[in-house]
Structures are given as structure tokens and as C-alpha cells.
Structure 1
């Protein structure tokens, strides 16, 4: 099978909600139908975590840095894509995967150290590395825990 056919197959088989859109994007719209891909939100992002994703549409890459909720992406957008910035920025939360070093018996708390909202805690256990737990009520979805994770075990997904 040609690589073009494989690329097309991946495009059409990918999950629709894989991409994390910028904060405050309206949930009531189909983002890819409304966004003109002007890249103004990408240029405005103070931590440069908004990047061109599939099809050139903006998406957030937490492997680069965290979202500071500066609102510059929403302010820069000429389209009517964003909610009022007084509302909750998005419905995404951190999730720790099985590749977490603590699950392998290695003591690591880099995610906890980087979490300003204190949404990540560790449960002590005798003879084992402490295991992480995320308080989803406290998690803002800022992604500050993603880049520091040495095993890449933290993802930010729709709650």
C-alpha cells in the first residue's frame, strides 16, 4: 500500500476529539468549520504552546510548556470562536498513564512539583514508591505537569 493511502487512512481514522483546542473555544461550534486558520492565536500565545495541528488548525501542545490562561489567544482571534473569558477556560484535565515512573517503582514527583494548583498528590506506601493521584476538581488543565514528566506519562484530555 502506498504511503499516501496510509496517510489518508490515518487522517480519516483518527479520533475527532484528539486535539486540545485553545482555552475558551466555544463548545457549541464545530471548531474546524469556523476557524479560518489565520494563526493569530498561535502568534499571540505567550508560552508558544498553540501550534499548527492537523489541517493547519491550532491546537495546544503541552509538551512545550503550560497554559497561563493569559487570554491573548481569545483576544487575538478575529472570528467568533471564543466564549467569554470569565468562564471556565476548558474541560480538559491531566491524566497519568501507566508509563509513570512511580508505577515502575521509581520515586519521582516532578509533576507534583510543577502543579501550582496542587491538584497532584502522592500516596505513601510502605516499601513502594509513592503513587500519584489527580484531584480533578482542583486540576485546571493548564498542562504544567506535562513537560517536566521524564517518562511522558501525563496527557491532557477532555474530562
Structure 2
């Protein structure tokens, strides 16, 4: 499933497992690589407040993160413009390495006709076989990782992950 950390041996032995796996936070578009971003970000929330789509939220670590369930990132650049700390690289294209990933719980994979993810994809990166003959597929070269497909999925079968992590899973 990608960037998932395992519980410690001690937590495992004593049955103290997290309710959900701990995943690495998805940073805003154009955020510098994690070590540089962590050093530069001042936790001011300027980027979170500037996001017109409200898909940037303050994470548990106090840093901004992208929340795909909240909607679609339109890559407007308002988060970058609002940041005075130098935590972003505005000139980088693409803005991040995120792409959509479809789980086996996809309704179409279960024989149920559904194309809610395909219908909302702004880049037409999602394909669904006619007649529910297999799970939706994502064209990784076309997908921008905007998250538009995440919230509409009725069974939460779609997530947004970093592309390199997905290649390791495949």
C-alpha cells in the first residue's frame, strides 16, 4: 500500500497496534522534498488558509498536508504564493509525484457497474471497462494526483499515493 510504517516490536508484542496504518503525510503541491520542507516550514498555516479548494489541512504533526477526501487540488498555486518560508519549489513540473491508485474493492471489479471516478477525472486518466468487467485502471502518465476521484468513490477504493511507492507495490 505504499509508505506505511510498521508498529514497533514492543507495540506488537503488547497488542498496541494503531487503529489504522500510519502513512507518510501527503504534502502540498510544489512542496520541497521532505527533509527540506520540514526544515523550511514554519507551521504558520498560510498555505492552508490560502487554498481555495480547502484540500490543504494542518496535519497531526502541525504541518500542512493534502487531504484528497476533501476534494480536488486545482494546482492554482495560491499555497505557494502565500508561503514566505521557502518551503515550496514553484518552478517544479509536475508539482508532485502523486497518482491515484485503485484497490481491489473497486465496485467495477466486483461486477457492479460504476464509473464515478472516471466521470470526475479532469484529465481522463481513469478507464473503466464496460459492463463492470474489471477494476478501474489509472493511466499513470496522465494522472496528476489531484484527488478528484477519491471522495466520489462509494466504497473508498481510490487513494492517492506517491508514484515510486506504487511501483514497488506492483
User: TM-score interval w.r.t. the shorter chain?
Assistant: 0.7 to 0.9
Higher relative strand content:
1
Q: Does 2:135 correspond to 1:131?
A: yes
Whole-angstrom distance in 2 between the partners of 1:86 and 1:14:
28
Deviation of residue 28 (structure 1)?
Answer: 6.8
Deviations 1:77-123 (A, max 9, x none): 11111112462110010000122111221110000000010100122
Question: For the Cα contact (< 8 Å) 2:104–2:135, is it kept in 1?
Answer: no
TM-score (normalised: structure 2): 0.78
Does the aligned pair in 1 maintain the 2:59–2:65 contact within 8 Å?
Answer: yes
Mind listing any 5+ residue stretches in structure 1 that lack a counterpart?
A: none
In the other structure, the counterpart of 1:53 is 59
Deviates more, 1:111-120 or 1:100-109: 100-109
C-alpha distance in 2, partners of 1:118/1:157?
Answer: 18
Contact 1:71 1:85 in 2 (8 A): no
Structure-2 change in CA distance of 1:122 and 1:158 (3 Å):
same
What residue number does 2:4 align with? none
RMSD: 2.3
Query: Equivalent residue for 1:142?
Result: 146
Contact 1:62 / 1:147 at 8 angstroms: preserved in 2?
yes
Match of 1:91 among 88, 94, 97: 97
TM-score by length of 1: 0.84
Q: 2:85 corresponds to which residue?
A: 79
1:33 Cα offset (Å): 2.9
Q: Look up the SS of the partner of 2:38 in the other structure.
A: helix
Query: What is the rounded CA distance, in whole Å, between the counterparts of 1:54 and 1:9 in structure 2?
Result: 18
Please say if residues 119 and 139 of structure 1, whose CA atoms lie closer than 8 Å, have aligned partners that are also in contact.
yes
Tell me, yes or no, if the aligned pair for 2:99 and 2:160 is still in contact at 8 Å: yes
